[in-house]
Structure 1
Amino acid sequence: MTPRTTEPPVIEHGGGVWSIKVPIPDNPLGFTLVHLLDTDAGPVLVDTGWDDPASWATLTAGLATCGVAVEDVHGVVITHHHPDHHGLSAKVREASGAWLAMHEADAAVVRRTRAQPPERWYGYLAAKLTAAGAPAEHVAPLVRARDEGRPRTLPGLDPALPDRAITPGELLGLPGRRLRAVWTPGHTPGHVCLHLEEDHPAGLRGNGRLFSGDHLLPGITPHIGLHEDPEDDTVTDPLGDYLDSLERVGRLAPAEVLPAHQRAFTDAPARVRELLAHHEERLTGLLTLLAEPLTPWRLAERMEWNRPWAEIPYGSRNIAVSEAEAHVRRLVKLGRAEAVPGSDPVTYVAV
């Protein structure tokens, strides 16, 4: 159930910018803030929300409140490929003929996701979890799904293909507006923030406004996990990418941040400092845990989450293990931890 709220589903931010609170079914985040930007060529959406009938109804009703029919939408800019942001893109494009833009790194994820058969994804997840030290009983449902040839039931496995690329550092082609793409990898490899380089309509001090997607949120930290290509064995450092991207956004010093969840806020540099301190504190805490060799699974069991490990659902455990491994990779790259030679599944220890 979507949490009840007394706040209006549509918020006007001034200067031709609105946000619509599109619900995410059965998710503690509650909603995605889909932003509407007026341009001389017609309305443009930043993200679209989850692909669900109630979400679609909320989006179209919210647009109507702003005086816009979904058929009027000129374009859709996707901050990243996750289903609570990209899910309704196909429906919006089908209804309006709008173009759909995404950073190439996330567009590659979309193409790869669409191309892989379901059993390939179930097998890949099973192998990754096994390598991370997950117990056999946790991996067994994925193995069964692979062997039985089950259809894809995970969200976001048939996403819309974008037809335009977002080029970092360049202005998007939006007549009458100055919206510049800022590449902020970490949460996903192709996550982008969008810097509206215009004076704040209420006169707030700072450099315009920033549509921050999931990169910068006022009260929670985005998930930083692994997002490799199953056909590519390159060892990535998504947490390092995220921390670098945070500092880049902090230097922009926008007057206001319009994130994809929670609420609009000011003082982005202060929020960036909080997040940098949070991750440094977490890395330090993991070093204490890694006084003894641990697999990523065992490390995730001991890490602090928003609830005890025993109460974390199956899918969320997979996400937690991915985040634990991303943090371990950062420690390894910094020379503060290392893999134990010959361990299988691999264990890590502080150095």
Structure 2
Amino acid sequence: MTPQVTDPPVIEHGGGVWSIKVPIPDNPLGFTLVHLLDTDRGAVLVDTGWDDPASWHTLADGLAACGVAVADVHGVVITHHHPDHHGLSAKVREASGAWIAMHEADASVVRRTRSNPPERWYAYMAAKLTAAGAPEEHVAPLVRAAEEGRPRRLPGLDPALPDRDIVPGELLDLAGRRLRAIWTPGHTPGHVCLHLEEDHPAGLRGNGRLFSGDHLLPGITPHIGLYEDPDDATVTDPLGDYLDSLERVARLDPAEILPAHQHAFTDAPARVGSLVAHHEERLTGLGALLAEPRTAWQLAEHMEWNRPWAEIPYGSRNIAVSEAEAHVRRLVKLGRAEVVPGGDPVTYVAV
């Protein structure tokens, strides 16, 4: 590949690494940074972006600006299964024959997502929200969708099946590069960061570069909610997973972090410290709210978001409730809250 001087959405990071800003339609995040890594066997992508015609054209144009045709892509490494990261993987593979690699925990989610009919997802989401204390008028559209057997309308319900496993701690099979998988569950059960164990091209202090996906972002906190899955009733602790994973990344102390949103940045330990403090502050605030029994929905109504609760749209409220549940589940595991026996919907109280 011969790097070319281009205007954004393509950014050259040096050392055979570029990023392409692939748009996410109707989303305040704006774009996914799809990273391009040059290898001795051809271009490898870290994530692919949202499955949308405009996103696909942006990705193809961005690759062309780096001197790469979509047909020349050798492989795709997915940090996690969410549609703004994995959405275009099938199109890339169809156009190029590229392999797709993903951690088994997220690959398992993909397999179950593809095998379940859409009405089961709608019914599952309705039951989860009802148990969390959502009002009947909020749940009603999901119940109707399940009863009417509506076609798939939710993004990511037909994701590409990966054909390679990402094994934590091992180097990926990339000719001429040293890219090691770091398992960082929390945002999803199989989220991985990818540590490029090579000297920084600009000589920055630290240990290589880190493709951090959604795990570590420079100015926003990634969503940490429950791992939603109608076929898996395991009681998980996503926030506990996330906090443990943050410490793992801080110990790596990479010279530079290349995230999937916003922009590249440095000083991972400092950013990790800020995120840990943020979640402890949120847990403390929830503990105070639980001086009286509340449902997850009631907790979400009182938590601080980027806008007042009355202005939060329907889908974002579902995400907020899931995040409230993940935090209160962490409080329960820490012995700082408990489930009120016999509550219907499920109610929590501080101890």
Category of TM-score, reference length = shorter chain: over 0.9
Q: Deviations over 1:233-292 (max 9, x none)?
A: 221000000000000000000000000000000000000000000000110011111111
The 8 Å contact of residues 23 and 31 in structure 1, kept in 2 or not, is answered as yes
Tell me, yes or no, if the aligned pair for 1:228 and 1:236 is still in contact at 8 Å. no
Tell me the secondary structure at the aligned position of residue 60 of structure 2: helix
The 3-state SS of whatever aligns with 2:177 is coil
Residue matched to 1:98:
98
Query: For residues 1-351 of structure 1, what are the structure 2 equivalents within 5 Å?
Result: 8-351=8-351
Paired with 1:137 and 1:173, the residues of 2 have a C-alpha distance of 51
How many residues matched?
346
Partners of 1:273 and 1:221 in 2: CA distance: 12
1:137 CA drift (Å)? 0.5
- The 3-state SS of whatever aligns with 2:283 is helix
Matched AA of 1:290: L
- Offset of residue 169 of structure 1: 0.2
Q: Which runs of 5+ in 2 are unaligned?
A: 1-6
Cα deviations across residues 38-66 of structure 1 (Å, max 9, x unaligned)? 00010000000000010001000000000
Aligned-pair CA distance for 1:296: 0.2
* TM-score using structure 2 length: 0.98
The answer for the alignment partner of 1:3 in structure 2 is none
Looking at structure 2, the residues matched to 233 and 215 of structure 1 have their Cα atoms a distance apart, in angstroms, of 24
C-alpha RMSD of matched pairs (Å): 0.9
What SS does the corresponding residue of 1:74 show, helix, strand or coil? strand
Q: Say which SS state the counterpart of residue 33 (structure 1) adopts.
A: strand
Work out the CA distance in 1 between the residues paired with 2:227 and 2:269. 27
Structure 1: unaligned runs, 5 residues or longer: 1-6
1:342 shift after superposition: 1.4
**C-alpha separation between the residues in 2 aligned to 1:200 and 1:186?**
28
Aligned partners of 1:47 and 1:86 also within 8 Å: yes
- Percent identical among aligned pairs is 88
Tell me the CA shift for residue 346 of structure 1: 1.2
Q: What is the TM-score with the length of structure 1 in the denominator?
A: 0.98
Contact 2:198 2:209 (8 Å CA) reproduced: yes
Give 4+ residue runs of structure 1 displaced > 3 Å after superposition: none
Write the distance in 1 (CA, Å) between the matches of 2:266 and 2:48.
Answer: 24
Map Cα deviations across residues 134-188 of structure 1 (whole Å, 9 max, x no partner): 0111000000000001001000000000000000000000000000000000000
Cα distance in 2 between the residues matched to 1:240 and 1:168: 19
Return the offset for 1:8.
1.2
**What residue identity is the alignment partner of 1:154?**
L
Q: Deviations over 1:177-228 (max 9, x none)?
A: 0000000000000000000000000000000000000000000000000114
Q: What is the SS of the residue equivalent to 1:151? A: coil
In structure 2, distance between residues paired with 1:231 and 1:22: 32
Partner Cα distance (2:267, 2:173) in 1: 28
- 2:49 corresponds to which letter in structure 1? G
AA of the residue aligned to 2:47: D
Given that residues 112 and 231 in structure 2 are in contact (C-alpha distance below 8 angstroms), is that contact kept between their aligned partners in structure 1?
Answer: no
